[in-house]
Amino acid sequence: MSLDTPRYLSELFLNIRGRSIAWDAHVRAGLITDSDVKKIKAIDKVLKEKQISVVEKDVDGYATLVLGPEGALRKATDGKRVDVVAYMLVLLGDLLKGVPAFTDSLLSLPKPFAHLLSLLSHTDESTPLLSASVLTTLLTAYLKSSERPSSDARDALPKLYHFFAGLTKSPDGHLQDIAIQSYVSLLRSTFARTTFWDMEGETVVPIVKILETAAAGNGSGGDRVTGVTGGTGIVQGGVGLQLLYHVLLVIWELTFEESVAEEINPKYDVIPPITEILRSSLKEKITRLALATLANLATKSPSTNLPPLLLSNILPYLQQLSSRFTSSSDPDLTADLSSLIEALDTFQSSQTTLSSYRLEILSGHLRWSPPHRNEGFWKRHAREIMDDTELVKALARVLSSSTDKTVLAVAANDVGVLVREAPGSRKKWEEQGVKSRVMELMGDSDAEVRYEALKAVQGFLAHAFS
């Protein structure tokens, strides 16, 4: 998986490469040696092919020059020469991408990540971003080749995640996308994914917020997410399409870990926004990633994720979508579609009407599905529902905590019907604070909520002495 460098960083790199450095003055000041300057000038502002050729002949020498204990980057940092620090970081990034042997040589240096980590808190605005970019490339290469991360890597990765987590909370979509793209590069090993998940309060919460913004529509106030193109490119739900794509990539990568696939929806309720994004997808690449993520969730932890997937009513859309693609034209997408449809079909066929109703209530995502207005359903199952303590508490909890008007109307309807069909239930509802809550909802701003709450209160009054 290869991603283009974020435009903001590309422009910064280009600007720094074009600057002139007064190397002779720095030699006189003792900041760098004359021999080091000769090595730098041999690869400065030359064709890429020549730069690679020169460095390949002396990878260890260039690695020591740039990042060694007495290297130019450390001396420039100590000498507070921000221009040289920026230049050396951009040079580092260029050589890491162009010369694989140079990467290996850097990683063989003592504590190769330490100085770069210290630059994440540099007071210059661009230095932390440049250092984080180099660290991402270096750590990604290291984790790819190492089955057992060293203590240095175990120390470095959480610190880098912490830095990027700060960027994801920024209102600037450019900075958000730098962080999210860096996550995508890093999350290619189990160690990287489990470390990320261990820091979920910092790392996962902001990306879920972006996901929810894209699903819900345009943000508002301080929660609005700026598009990565400065608001002039394609957006979905107020989120730049590229930023959304990279967020989905992160979640998709995470769900390859069974523990994450099992926990992410119960903790963060990601299935509703992902299914909504899938339905309203503006680009095939968004469709593809949303499907791949849902397929991972369904296969890695079916018992946890199939119930909310079924409740999202995504199955009819998936069946409709399957007619648009063939296995010959798009084998990966059709494979994800087929596995999802088959899993949901099988799960749906195993559900009774009552079990489906129970799943809906426990999920908290109530809608006007068939059971709610089916008199036969209530006559058959009202007493059974009232004997299910977990279900009763869940319905009461939804009624007390939800702000969704449809959820409140459906919950009030169900309470009213249950009071009528199981008159002895009145006391249970009162103990849960439900009677006072539906009385309060009689004054709600939504007409449907007021109507359903009024019917429920009438039910309580009709059975006041039962």
294 pLDDT above the threshold of 90: yes
Mean pLDDT across the stretch 11-29? 89
- Domain boundaries along the sequence of the chain: 1-145, 147-352, 354-463
For residue 228, what pLDDT is reported?
38
Mean pLDDT across the stretch 349-355? 86
For 440-443, the CB contacts below 8 A with 24+ separation are: 441/408, 441/412
For residue 66, what pLDDT is reported?
93
CA distance 302 to 348: 12
For residue 382, what pLDDT is reported?
94
CB 191 within 8 A of CB 253: no
pLDDT tens for residues 422-445?
Answer: 988 888 999 999 999 999 999 999
Per-residue confidence band for 350, with pLDDT thresholds at 50, 70 and 90: confident
Mean pLDDT across the stretch 333-350? 92
pLDDT tens for residues 162-216?
Answer: 999 999 999 888 899 999 999 999 999 999 999 999 999 999 999 999 999 999 8
Tokens of residue 205, six digits: 């919460």
For residue 224, what pLDDT is reported?
39
CA distance 466 to 105: 82
For residue 37, what pLDDT is reported?
92
For residue 233, what pLDDT is reported?
63
What share of the chain has pLDDT > 90, as a percent? Answer: 73
What share of the chain has pLDDT > 70, as a percent? Answer: 95
CA distance 131 to 92: 9
pLDDT tens for residues 120-159?
Answer: 999 999 999 999 999 999 999 999 988 889 999 999 999 9
219 pLDDT above the threshold of 60: no
Q: Give the orientation angle of helix 331-349 with respect to helix 302-311, to 10 degrees.
A: 90
For residue 465, what pLDDT is reported?
60
230 pLDDT above the threshold of 60: no
CATH architecture for segment(s) 354-463: Alpha Horseshoe (1.25)
pLDDT: which is higher, 265 or 223? 265
Beta bridge partners of residue 235, listed in sequence order: 240
Angle (CA) 293-295-298 rounded to 5° is 110
412 Cβ neighbours under 8 A, 6+ residues apart: 399, 438, 441, 449, 452, 453, 455, 456
pLDDT tens for residues 56-100?
Answer: 999 999 999 999 998 999 999 998 999 999 999 999 999 999 899
CATH topology of domain 147-352: Leucine-rich Repeat Variant (1.25.10)
Angle (CA) 317-343-404 rounded to 5° is 50
CA distance 56 to 33: 21
Indicate the average pLDDT of the chain.
90
14 Cβ neighbours under 8 A, 6+ residues apart: none
Full-model pTM: 0.84
